[in-house]
Amino acid sequence: MALGTGIFLIVVGAIAAFAINDSVDAVDLVMIGWICMGAGVVAIIVSLIANQQRSNTTHREIRDEHVDEHRVEG
Question: Is a pLDDT exceeding 70 seen at residue 41?
Answer: yes
Return d(Cα 24, Cα 45) in angstroms, integer: 32
At residue 24, φ and ψ (nearest 5 deg) are -120, 140
Range of the domain at 48: 2-55
**Mean predicted lDDT score pLDDT of the chain:** 85
Domain count, the chain: 1
Neighbours of 71 (CB within 10 A): 7
Does residue 61 lie in a domain region?
A: no
The answer as to whether 68 is a domain residue is: no
* 72 domain-assigned: no
> Secondary structure of the chain: what % helix, strand, coil (to 5)?
60, 5, 35
Confidence grade of residue 63 (pLDDT, cut at 50, 70, 90): confident
